[in-house]
Structure 1
Amino acid sequence: MQKRTLAAAALLATTVSFAAPVFAQDTTTSDTAAETAQTTGATETAADGDAVVATVAGTPITEAQLQETVNQFKGQFGQMPEDQMRAIALSSLIDMKLISDAAADEGLDETDAFKTRMEQLREQELYNAYFDQVISKQITDDMLKARYDEEIAKAPKMEEVHARHILVENEAEANEIIKELDGGASFEELAKEHSTGPSGPEGGDLGYFTKGQMVPEFEAAAFALEPGKYTETPVKTDFGYHVIEVEDKREKAPVAFDQIKPQLQQLVAGEKYNEVVNDLKQGDTVVIEDKDLQASYDAVNKMQK
């Protein structure tokens, strides 16, 4: 039913969008003022969700119903003006009411298939409501922060280095650069002058990186250096010959709590969900008649745990 509503809304939106530029060209100061007044009035009406915006065969459509439908459509029609969006939503609600009344007149709501579908929808909505209002509400920020600290403590520590490099095409040129460094030349200035890599203009600065981010030969040489030291022999890779200098080494900082909070919320919610479901399954609550299906069911549940 909702799919048909959205399809009708999309069709109407196409019509409205074609008409909109024509009206926009004729907008005057007074028209703008009137439009502002209408928008203000709509906002005031929105404060009263019980306000009736239309009736269909004597059945009211409230502001709350209209706003809920508008919210469903937002994001589908770009930056469409609010008044047009409300018109689309209202048209969809009216169409749905008219068609559903016609279906009831045909007795379609009395069929076994319809009643089965309604029971399925009821169970789905109750399932969602329980998850949102019971399970999710058990999860606090303190609980998530404690889980964050626990996971960070278990995570392996990662070292990262801050390095610069000078990339040249041949070994002889790399050796000449090392001689200049031995003589006290600035690594940063030599990188700007000689490096063919994209970091050359920035003095060869590669920032911080961890193991696994660079090609193996480069990585091995960089992590073997102490801060303030540079490679005494050129490092060959598929890109050419590198002279590498390490500026700093440190333990990689863990991802910030706020950044990973949504994933933690999902993780803890999943665990809470499993706890609730397992408690509800205690005893002989669930009986599966088919033994083969029982075995498959047990295997799936074991895997989920």
Structure 2
Amino acid sequence: MLRNSKLALVLCLGLTAAPFAALAEDAVVAKVGDLDIHQSELDLAIANLDPQLQQLPEEQKKVAALSGVIDVKLLAGNATAEGLDQDEAFKKRMQYIADRELHNAYFKKHVVDAVTDDEVKARYDKEVAALPQQEEVHARHILVKTEDEAKAIIKELDEGKDFVELAKEHSTDPNKSEGGDLGYFGKGRMVPEFEEAAFAMEPGTYSKVPVKTQFGFHIIKVEDKRVAAPPAYKDVEQQIRQLVMRDKYLEVIAKSKADAKVEIMDDDLRKGYEDVSKQP
């Protein structure tokens, strides 16, 4: 039988925090003494399994979860018989757990579930509009070891030789088979000397003097320039949704603080809280 100490703790918190009604459709899956274990309890236990146990096949997950629920029921019964449920520390902990669960329920209702697809799309459009336009260059290059080799290739280009064929013949870069094609790139992607030369050139031109970098000597040809496209909505939708949720949560918290006066008696704690509250 599978056992996991973390599982028992999670189950204990989860099962104590929320009561389960013995509804007609909520089947009894097991009994522990006089206590019934309902399908709803088992479902909650499965949902709260340790991440490692979540990787188990479905039937093994059910067995692991049921094992944890039975353990919890047994020891919870023992604890109640000993009067541990009347302990003041236990009551305070249960109150904290109840408050936390109510916080989570309110958060789900007024933040998570309140975020609409239209809000997310509108935030995406706003973020995209605020992005600075960034230029991208589509370039090819031929990389050789010496300056004399580079000058000789430039001479061949001046004579009308094809850049792609010369790259395939002479370049030492692994992309020589693609004619030295580097695709589109923005600033910050290449070494400074290469980047400076490429962005200074016009589409359709090649460097008339070798460009020296730590890798050797380059002959660069710029094929095209364009303004970089923003990230596609589908690629950043979840990140944008998180931003909308964050802002909505901050609005909920700000309104709640305005409706209820917060007093902190300890000076150091109050200052620390105020400092944290000022952070964006």
Q: Under TM normalisation by the shorter chain, which class is it? A: 0.7 to 0.9
Cα deviation for residue 168 of structure 1 reads 0.2
TM-score scaled by structure 2?
0.87
Change in Cα spacing, 1:73 to 1:278, as seen in structure 2 (3 Å) is: closer
Task: Tell me if structure 1 keeps the 8 A contact 2:28–2:37.
Answer: yes
Output one character per residue of 1:241-260: Cα deviation in whole Å (capped at 9) or x when no partner: 00001111100000111211
Cα deviation for residue 292 of structure 1 reads 4.6
Residue number among 110, 129, 151 corresponding to 2:127 in the alignment: 151
Alignment-derived partner of residue 170 in structure 1: 146
Change in Cα spacing, 1:188 to 1:147, as seen in structure 2 (3 Å) is: same
SS in 2 for 1:248: strand
Task: Tell me if structure 2 keeps the 8 A contact 1:5–1:96.
Answer: no
Output one character per residue of 1:220-268: Cα deviation in whole Å (capped at 9) or x when no partner: 0111111111101100001000000111110000011121121212212
Cα deviation for residue 100 of structure 1 reads 1.1
Q: State yes or no: 1:194 paired with 2:170.
A: yes
In terms of fraction of residues, the more helix-rich structure is 1
Amino acid at match of 2:57: P
Alignment-derived partner of residue 4 in structure 1: 5
- Matched residues in 1 for 2:63 and 2:256: separation? 46
Cα deviation for residue 8 of structure 1 reads 10
Amino acid at match of 1:196: T
Task: Tell me if structure 1 keeps the 8 A contact 2:141–2:180.
Answer: yes
Kindly, what percent of the aligned residue pairs are identical?
51
RMSD: 2.3
Change in Cα spacing, 1:5 to 1:289, as seen in structure 2 (3 Å) is: closer
Output one character per residue of 1:48-107: Cα deviation in whole Å (capped at 9) or x when no partner: 961111111121112232233233337524764322222222111111111111111111
Change in Cα spacing, 1:49 to 1:238, as seen in structure 2 (3 Å) is: farther
Alignment-derived partner of residue 239 in structure 2: 263
Alignment-derived partner of residue 235 in structure 1: 211
Cα deviation for residue 147 of structure 1 reads 1.3
Change in Cα spacing, 1:221 to 1:250, as seen in structure 2 (3 Å) is: same
Alignment-derived partner of residue 93 in structure 2: 117
Alignment-derived partner of residue 110 in structure 2: 134
Task: Tell me if structure 2 keeps the 8 A contact 1:5–1:95.
Answer: no
Change in Cα spacing, 1:4 to 1:104, as seen in structure 2 (3 Å) is: farther
Alignment-derived partner of residue 99 in structure 1: 75
TM-score scaled by structure 1?
0.81
SS in 1 for 2:174: coil
Q: Across the two proteins, how many residue pairs are aligned to each other?
A: 265
Asked which structure has the greater RCO (Cα within 8 Å, sep 6+), the reply is 2
Alignment-derived partner of residue 37 in structure 1: none
Range that drifts further, 67-76 or 108-117: 67-76
Alignment of 1:39-78 (within 5 A): 50-73=26-49, 75-77=51-53
